[in-house]
Structure 1
Amino acid sequence: MNLLLDTHAFLWFIGGSSSLSKRARTLIEDETNRVVLSTASLWEIAIKISLEKLTLSESFDVLIPEQLAVNGIELLDISINHAALVANLPFHHRDPFDRLLVAQAKVEQMAVISKDQAFDAYEVNRLW
């Protein structure tokens, strides 16, 4: 299965947080699944750090690449097709990062690992 991680799911996974559902953790750890993180999530994490809304256990440029490699998580770049779909999505949800994840999930035919029920309005396969 192809899985796109929402930013909070990635952070909870790498931090070992109990906020991540058991089902989500099992899906992420299943080596038969392809697990992907959007480059938009990297941007969102960086913004939260700069606004002092998030603190990581190590520096961003050390922790993130290390966790991606250790956990076999791929990065998904933002494509023209992703951006084009964002332009045409209804405004069920105003968060620009989540709207991009919706578009990426639809274009790439991926399920989204997210606690955020706002994804459900976009008819993407949200797993939690």
Structure 2
Amino acid sequence: MKDNNEVRLLLDTAILIYAVESPERLSRRASAALGNPENVLELSAVSLAEIAIKATLGKLRLSAAIARQAVQDLDIRILPYTADHAFHLFDLPMHHGDPFDRQIIAQALSEKIPIVKLVW
């Protein structure tokens, strides 16, 4: 169990993909966040759905087995998507057009945790 100094971080979908496929492309700050044992790394269940859909469409080479292994290796906690998260979508401005991004942003707002993105 983490102590009171823990910092919860919600990883953007691309962070997991890059951590597996191109870790050298992660920013120094994102790499440091992934490697800091005081951080509680979380990945939205929405991100897993996004990866699965894009892999099925041939837009990603990431398999379910590789995604599972990465989640385990990086000690990532999967954050379920709840109705409370979905209700936060009503408050988001429409300049967030991607439905996966909108759900992850709503989840981060609901949970009051920052999102680690590629440019972070």
TM-score normalised to structure 2 length:
0.88
In the TM superposition, 1:1-80 aligns within 5 A as 1-56=7-62, 59-60=63-64, 62-80=65-83
CA contact (8 A) 1:40 1:97 kept: yes
Matching of residue 96 in structure 1 with residue 102 in structure 2: no
SS at match of 2:38: coil
The gaps in structure 1 that reach 5 residues or longer are 117-127
CA contact (8 A) 2:11 2:41 kept: yes
Runs of 4 or more off by more than 4 Å in structure 1?
A: none
TM-score normalised to structure 1 length:
0.83
**RMSD, aligned α-carbons:** 1.3
How many angstroms does 1:16 deviate by? 4.1
The gaps in structure 2 that reach 5 residues or longer are 1-6
1:26-50: CA deviation from partner (whole Å, max 9, x where unpaired): 1111010010000100111111111
CA contact (8 A) 2:16 2:70 kept: no
Identity score, percent: 37
